[in-house]
Amino acid sequence: MTQAINEIRAQFPALNQDVNGKPLVYLDNGATTQKPQSVIDALSDYYRLNNSNVHRGAHTLSDRATQHFEDARKTLQAFLNANKAEEIVWTRGTTESINLVAATWGRQHIQAGDEILVTGMEHHSNIVPWQMLCQQTGATLRPIPVKDTGELDMEAFASMLSDKVKFVSVVHVSNALGTINPVEDIIKMAHEVGAKVLVDGAQAVSHWNVDVQALDADFYAFSGHKLFGPTGIGVLYGKEELLNAMPPYQGGGEMIEHCSFDGTTYNVLPYKFEAGTPNIAGAIGLAAAVNYLNGLDRVALEHHENALLVRANELADQIGGIRK
C-alpha cells in the first residue's frame, strides 16, 4: 500500500515541494484539499481551448463549453445517484447551498410557531442561515444534544420530533469531531412527522459513496474544494418535486426564460437556481475531481484511512490527558 500511496501523492503537484526544509505533509483536508494534476489540467484546458459562455453562444467554443458543463452535471448526478441531472444545482459551495434552501423553501413554508432542528455539532454555515430564517418568520431553532462521547443523542432527537418540526438540517460527518451521524435514521424519523431534511455532506462525499436516493434525502449539499476540486463550486441536490415548487434564489441571467417589464417567467430546473454566468470552469474541474476519485480503489483508501486512525489513537494514548 505504501507504493500506491506514494504514487497517489505524486499526482498532487502541491505535495511535491519542501516546506521549512522538509517534504510537505498536509493535514488540513477538512478545510480544503489539494488538487491532483488531472483537475488542474481540466481547468487549464477549459481556459486554453474552450473558454466561452454556456447555453448562449452560436459558435463552436460555446458548444464545447456547454457540452462539458452539462456533462459535468451528469457526472455529479451519477456520483450522488440522483434520479435526474436536473436535481443537481451548481452553487458556490455548501454554505450557499444551505442559504439557498433556507431562503427559498424556508421562506415559503416556515412560519411563526414552527421548529427547525439542527445538531449541536454543526458548522456555523448550518446554523446561521436557520437563525436568520427564524428571526424573519418567528420560528424556533432547536439544537439536538450531543453526548459526551461526541455522538448525537438520538433519544433526545426522537423526543424533540413533533408536528411543529418542519425542517431538520444535519451534518453527515462533523468537521470538528469526525462523528458520522446516522443520517438515514434521522431522515426516516423526520419524515414520519412530515419534516424535510437537508444533509451537509461536505465532509462525507470524499470518504465513501453517497446515494441520495437510498438515504431519501430531500436536500444534500457539499463543496468541491473538499473533494479535490476547485474552490468556488459546490452542489445542491434536491428532489425534483421540491425544487420545482421553490421560488428562485436570485434573479438575472440564466434563471430567466422570458423577461419584460410586464413580467418575467423563470427557467426550468436546474437553471431556475443558477442566476448569472455560472462557474463553468469550476463545474468542469469538479467533474474531473469526481472522475479522479472514482478511478481510485476507494475500499483500499478507506482501509488505509482507518489504519491511520488506529495509529493516531495509539500515539495519542502515549501522550496522556487526551479524552477520545
User: Would you kindly state where each structural domain of the chain is located, as residue ranges?
Assistant: 43-292
Nearest to 179 by CA among 116, 97, 122: 122
Task: Check: CB of residue 38 under 8 Å from CB of residue 288.
Answer: yes
Continuous H helices in the chain: 2-10, 37-45, 60-80, 94-101, 107-109, 128-137, 154-160, 183-192, 212-215, 240-245, 280-294, 298-319
Closest CA to 282 of 72, 25, 7, 17: 72
Backbone angles phi and psi of 60, in degrees to 5: -60, -45
Sequence-distant (6+) residues with CB within 8 A of 86 are: 240, 243, 268, 269, 270
User: ∠ at Cα 148 (161, 31), nearest 5°?
Assistant: 90
Phi, psi of 260 (to 5 degrees): -150, 170
Q: Scanning the structure block, which residue is given the C-alpha cell 474531473? A: 288
Question: What distance in Å separates the CA atoms of residue 37 and residue 13, rounded to the nearest whole number?
Answer: 7
pLDDT, tens digit only, all 324 positions of the chain: 566 888 999 999 999 999 999 999 999 999 999 999 999 999 999 999 999 999 988 899 999 999 999 999 999 999 999 999 999 999 999 999 999 999 999 999 999 999 999 999 999 999 999 999 999 999 999 999 999 999 999 999 999 999 999 999 999 999 888 899 999 999 999 999 999 999 999 999 999 999 999 999 999 999 999 999 999 999 999 999 999 999 999 999 888 888 889 888 888 999 999 999 999 999 999 999 999 999 999 888 888 999 998 998 899 889 978 876
- pTM for the whole thing? 0.95
Distance CA 217, CA 202 (A): 15
Distance in angstroms (rounded) separating the CA atoms of residues 264 and 99:
24
- Give the Cα separation of 235 and 223 in Å (integer): 6
Judge: domain 43-292, CATH 3.30.420.40. Answer: no
Task: Report d(CA 53, CA 277) in Å as an integer.
Answer: 7
At 122 the three-state DSSP class reads coil
Distance between CA atoms of 219 and 73, rounded to whole angstroms? 16
| Per-residue pLDDT at 3 | 63
CB under 8 Å to 121, separation ≥6 — which residues? 146, 150, 152, 171, 174, 176, 177, 179
